Amino acid sequence: MTDFDLHVAEYRRTLDRGLSISGEDGDYFSRGRVTWLARRLSRHAARPRRLLDLGCGDGRTLPALRDALDASDALGVDASAASIEKARRDIGDPRLRFETLEDFRPSADRDLVYCSGVLHHVPPSERSAFLRTVHDALASGGWLALWENNPWNPGARWVMHRLPFDRDAVMLDVIEAKRRARRAGLYVVHVDFQFVFPRLLAPLRRLEPWLTDWPIGAQYQVLCRKA
């Protein structure tokens, strides 16, 4: 499993270099994930107030997630102590809290767990336990937004090959993601594939909302709910 403490200082620059073949940077994809999630939740009249970004890294997604969902409580958790230290130092927003995975204790009080690009870093033998932690963190009726890179997309595979912190990752397809979520006691509400066209074909991006059922996007979201 990758030790992200070793990559914190250069993480963003390295990520942006790896993504450069798409013509975009990491913030483009982060904004896209948050925007799509907010759209999906609004269709269910869901207004999660207590958020958990599990695997938050340097914390840069958490402010956008809180603002998009108008949440009152936002917590970021990561296994990397150096990443949490950077998040606390750089974000500097008292409305956002950050803590290490070692210190985190799930207490069935989160309305939404957002988990992006994390599970492929978890060894397959430990993924069920990880998702049980997600289940235990969620309140009754709470939502899980599980985002992963699509192994059926050659571009996603190529980007991960270019990133030193992704080279030991074991990608999982949407079939495995859904199966593991169900075994953890969550039921799958939606599956959406996103990020089909690179910037070179940006005029075609207007078609992407109609392509979410096709397993061709570089990433996918499995949106789940706790009974």
Give the tens place of pLDDT for each residue, 127-138. Answer: 999 999 999 999
Residue 1 has pLDDT above 70, yes or no: no
Give the tens place of pLDDT for each residue, 75-128. Answer: 999 999 999 999 999 998 888 999 999 999 999 999 999 999 999 999 999 999
**How does residue 4 score in pLDDT terms, banded at 50, 70 and 90?**
confident
Look up the pTM and report it: 0.96
Mean pLDDT of 14-30: 96
CA distances in angstroms from 150 to 3, 60, 85, 88, 194, listed in the order given = 23, 22, 30, 31, 9
CA distances in angstroms from 181 to 4, 22, 73, 84, 128, listed in the order given = 25, 30, 24, 26, 8
Residues 20 and 15: their CA atoms lie apart, in Å, by: 9
Can you give the residue ranges of every domain in the chain?
4-226
Residue 143 has pLDDT above 80, yes or no: yes
pLDDT at res. 114: 98
- Continuous segment of H or E residues that includes residue 116: strand 110-116
Residue 133, amino acid: T
Q: In this structure, which topology does domain 4-226 adopt according to CATH?
A: Rossmann fold (3.40.50)
Give the tens place of pLDDT for each residue, 153-197. Answer: 999 999 999 999 998 899 999 999 999 999 999 999 999 999 999
Give the tens place of pLDDT for each residue, 5-17. Answer: 888 889 999 999 9
Mean pLDDT of 1-26: 90
Give the tens place of pLDDT for each residue, 45-55. Answer: 999 999 999 99
Residue 21, amino acid: I
pLDDT at res. 14: 95
pLDDT at res. 57: 95
Residue 70 has pLDDT above 90, yes or no: yes
Give the tens place of pLDDT for each residue, 145-158. Answer: 999 999 999 999 99
